[in-house]
Structure 1
């Protein structure tokens, strides 16, 4: 049994023999809260694209830029962050509360390791909340007592689904589009939805995208679907996309000029922010 930190004991609520989506992302981001089984997934995807870690890096950068946009350019002061994952240096509440100190953030996840870290978030910030729910069961999640009481559903809310929907594996019973429709139908007018997702760019990089997908799907994690731009646009049905629309994550309001060409992984993750009329 190997952990990221030599000699680190394994909490009883964690199974180190099975990869976790949150811990795999942590491994992609060079974090310390992962195990050998999680790093095996990373190494497998790196066989398809050596730059695979940039999938997680660009996803995190998109989260930061989207949150800065929402906090600076809209009247949003409340956020529902679905599938929040393990904490990093810049979590949603860090970004938005730096701009709007009164912003409230409800994080949602059902990974045991994430839940444990979530308790620490509750202690450090009185405007940050954490609930244990399945983000792919929106009706149940939206009835959660904390979600209902700590967010004002008479005012606009920002819903974040960043790096989450490509891990949904229940397409045979309910589509990702149906899941997002359940969320957006409930959101008040003026709300925003931010989504990032693995992309099949349908160009010379499609083969790399599908190879990464195969590695994800055939790993012990068993999830990580790459979708076309058309398929991703369906997730924003009924929403008005904020300029520049659905683009590769590095192209969504970058922090500066792109001097280096994008690598294969950077071309295989897309994101957008939409507003509910």
Structure 2
């Protein structure tokens, strides 16, 4: 599988858990207490070295106070990260889906025009979150978001690579690209993410770019908990060792993973 995060999380696809351990109270994604659309790592950016603008408004029709600014693109290893736009959104809506237990990352809802417009507006709005689509040429192959102002650090979330693009290191490459840019633009804080403990494939991608488990705890993941009541026992059995029923609700074991800035494979 891929990355999930994300990932993406996976080939990473979406195994990054949308929610955060209670102690850290991030701001993240809609499903998580973080707004899904808000709170789920990189290399030198040629555009910046060439003196290109650091950021540009995503929509000229939106006011500067309501629209986030983004770099034109963030270059990585064989891909680049771009802000969401209408064309990329249409590609995301057509991505393959994994379903339970990674259903929180599936994007089939974007096929609904009204929901697609709302998601695009959310991705463009000013605030602590930045949302990127990883592209190989003109093809969207993954997505990743970051909360720039979480008190635990630079919180990566919505790390997601669809099934059709897994197995080629997309998760690792897009995380690396984003983290390199963040180290230049937001030096200091550690990188952090959360991931459910059953997402083994995603963990390998995160470890490849320097993340280590800092803490493991039981966590209430609402999208997962709600689906556990609906899926056949056979599906639940595949992850049951990572679950417990506590105080009237399902909880899942979750890793908090962290990576310091300045990390390198040799460190």
Higher strand share: 2
Using structure 2 for the length normalisation, give the TM-score: 0.35
Q: Give the helix-richer structure, 1 or 2.
A: 1
Q: TM-score, normalised by structure 1?
A: 0.34
